[in-house]
Structure 1
């Protein structure tokens, strides 16, 4: 049976993960780049620019720009499809696998922290609502 997690907890885990990734000495990916990266690493391939664009519902040029950055960082690479030389395959890299492993570790730590210190709801019921001076 799956457990249901409070959306505020999930957003907190996402925030803590993104902040940890930004603070560490390593790649700083945009949301689009991270979306492309995670799609390549968490879904079965083979992946193509056209397929990624369709799956993420963004333009092929947007995928190409994200892949340019991921390639610069050695988190993914493009290779001509030997079966169809008009098509380009997107491949995983060892550095990308290590980045995903680090990200999973950061998220696991953020989840553990959230379990130990759950968000406290204010009177209106919104755990993360800004406090207003009155």
Structure 2
């Protein structure tokens, strides 16, 4: 099955982004860990293990393992819900916000259109949306 040039471009951008992430200093995140991390930072919370499991359609133990790793890397932290002491909230951290900015820079660099002026407005809109998400996360 042939892919359209748009699909080819997106999949190449994904590949180039992942390769850039792997080459940078520091630990790598698995696809599941990255999915949990991005969900916590790009979607409004509050986030819980149960909510993340439902949102990502994976088991609660899988979310817990991903959060263990993310917490070890100081990308998220767990905090007791002050309104319901039985519940644990997943919170953003300064290190996690910095990491998201770095990831956004990688994506923007890799996905930068080269000699494709027609794509410039689309890219600018994506950058504005990412900036807005970073401000909300900030």
TM range (shorter): 0.7 to 0.9
For 1:117 and 1:102, locate their aligned partners in 2 and report how far apart those are by CA, in whole Å. Answer: 24
Q: CA deviation at 1:117?
A: 7.3
Residue aligning to 2:18: 18
Unaligned runs of 5+ in 2: 117-138
- Are 1:93 and 2:89 an aligned pair? no
Higher Cα radius of gyration: 1
Within a 5 Å distance, the mapping from 1:1-134 to structure 2 comes to 6-112=6-112, 115-116=113-114
Normalization by structure 1: what TM-score? 0.80
Give RMSD over aligned pairs: 1.4
For 1:117 and 1:10, locate their aligned partners in 2 and report how far apart those are by CA, in whole Å. Answer: 17
User: SS where residue 54 of structure 1 aligns?
Assistant: helix
Structure 1 runs (4+) deviating above 2 angstroms are none
Normalization by structure 2: what TM-score? 0.78
For 2:18 and 2:115, locate their aligned partners in 1 and report how far apart those are by CA, in whole Å. Answer: 19
For 2:11 and 2:87, locate their aligned partners in 1 and report how far apart those are by CA, in whole Å. Answer: 37
More helix by share: 2
For 2:7 and 2:90, locate their aligned partners in 1 and report how far apart those are by CA, in whole Å. Answer: 33
For 1:33 and 1:116, locate their aligned partners in 2 and report how far apart those are by CA, in whole Å. Answer: 31
For 1:9 and 1:105, locate their aligned partners in 2 and report how far apart those are by CA, in whole Å. Answer: 18
Q: CA deviation at 1:11?
A: 0.8
User: SS where residue 116 of structure 1 aligns?
Assistant: coil
Give aligned pairs, total. Answer: 112
